[in-house]
């Protein structure tokens, strides 16, 4: 009769009371891409479960990061961002991969240098997706107009510069954290100005031969604060989140940027360089250290209840209770390999 159980394995009554097969979705267990994604997330969740229960991973994973520069710093910053589970990474660079790059820049290989070299930004984005398919990586091969570098040679160059500025502004609009990782000082000026006007979190990293600086740029006061509101919920009223914190240090909206101490505007720093001075020369391990510190600074800022407005911690605060679950949130981190 129709009520008899069919001679088959796995048939049972469904919610409607009819006999049918029980379906099981094994994509989470069988799909390699899904397995990679869950494994990456699990490694991060272990930090919460075992060591830092207050760590808000969602703030880090959901951060959209724009990397201006896909060289030695850019490659190392990107790898560390992936280690933190960041899913959206965008590169901007106008250079091509040369034969000297792969040994210092871990996102490139020898084959990328052949036939004139691939675009750094495009190749870096492609490599990130090969390393972890769950990342949404893009690369834009474009130049950033710089002070002291004329663009009005012709109508064509002027129009191209205008397009580059419009594209840069659009990219900054669409991201949460902007990393300044370029070779020259003046190339950081325009992105710093645009980001400041849009109240974007900017992390800057720069290298010498055996020295480095990693810093965050200050943020303008939010518009709602100008009418008496605070950017964060502060129901107790005991702490002014924009003016003070656990430590009586400089609030985030008073912090300077990379150019705040300049007496004159930045200019062309490459014009008078000889051929042997046209390439950045630094100790090979320097970029890895600075790149890692840049990302760790970003993560600490995102964990702070005030975000980019966090009061800058100083070395004097090391004995006090840290403001975040990951420790201090400084304005600048400077390192000197010669004094290790």
Token readout for 217 is 């740029």
Element (H, E) at 91: strand 88-93
Contact 200, 307 (CB under 8 A): no
Helix ranges (H only) for the chain are 27-30, 32-50, 57-61, 72-83, 120-131, 155-173, 189-197, 286-303
* Pairing of β 177-180 and β 64-68: parallel
Q: Please check whether residue 318 is in contact with residue 328, taking contact to mean a CB–CB distance below 8 angstroms.
A: yes
Say which DSSP state 123 is in: H
- 88 pairs with which residues across the strands? 64, 136
Whether 279 is a known active-site residue: answer yes
Say if residues 202 and 256 touch (Cβ distance below 8 Å).
no
Question: What are the DSSP E strand ranges found in 168-273?
Answer: 177-180, 201-207, 211-216
d(CA 338, CA 282): 12
Q: Which residues contact 281 (CB under 8 A, 6 or more apart)?
A: 209
What's the DSSP call for residue 22?
A: P
Distance of CA 59 to the CA centre of its chain: 13
- Residues classed as catalytic: 279
């Amino acid at each position: 009769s129709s009520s008899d159980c069919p001679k088959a394995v796995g048939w049972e009554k469904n919610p409607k009371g009819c006999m049918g097969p029980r379906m099981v979705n094994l994509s989470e267990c069988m799909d390699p891409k899904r397995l990679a994604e869950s494994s990456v997330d699990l490694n991060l969740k272990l930090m919460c479960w075992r060591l830092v229960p207050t760590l808000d991973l969602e703030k880090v994973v959901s951060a959209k990061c724009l990397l201006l520069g896909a060289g030695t710093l850019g490659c190392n910053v990107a790898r560390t961002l992936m280690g933190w589970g960041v899913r959206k990474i965008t590169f901007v660079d106008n250079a091509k991969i040369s034969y000297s790059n792969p040994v210092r820049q871990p996102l490139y290989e020898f084959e990328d240098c052949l036939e004139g070299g691939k675009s750094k930004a495009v190749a870096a984005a492609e490599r990130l997706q090969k390393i972890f398919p769950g990342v949404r990586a893009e690369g834009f091969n474009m130049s950033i107009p710089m002070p002291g570098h004329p663009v009005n040679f012709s109508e064509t160059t002027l129009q191209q510069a205008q397009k580059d500025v419009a594209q840069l502004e659009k990219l900054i609009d669409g991201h949460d954290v902007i990393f300044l990782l370029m070779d020259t000082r003046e190339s950081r000026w325009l992105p710093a100005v645009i980001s400041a006007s849009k109240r974007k979190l900017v992390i800057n990293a720069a290298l010498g031969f055996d020295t480095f600086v990693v810093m965050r740029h200050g943020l303008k006061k939010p518009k709602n604060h100008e009418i008496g509101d605070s950017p964060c919920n502060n129901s107790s009223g005991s702490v002014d989140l924009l003016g003070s914190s656990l430590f009586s240090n400089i609030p985030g909206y008073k912090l300077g940027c990379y150019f705040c101490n300049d007496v004159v505007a930045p200019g062309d720093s490459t014009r008078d360089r000889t051929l042997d001075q046209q390439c950045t020369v630094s100790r090979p391990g320097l970029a890895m250290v600075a790149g890692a510190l840049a990302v760790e600074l970003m993560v600490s800022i995102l964990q702070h209840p005030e975000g980019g407005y966090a009061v800058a911690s100083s070395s004097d605060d090391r004995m006090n209770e840290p403001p975040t679950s990951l420790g201090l949130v400084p304005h600048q981190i400077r390192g000197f390999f010669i004094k290790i």
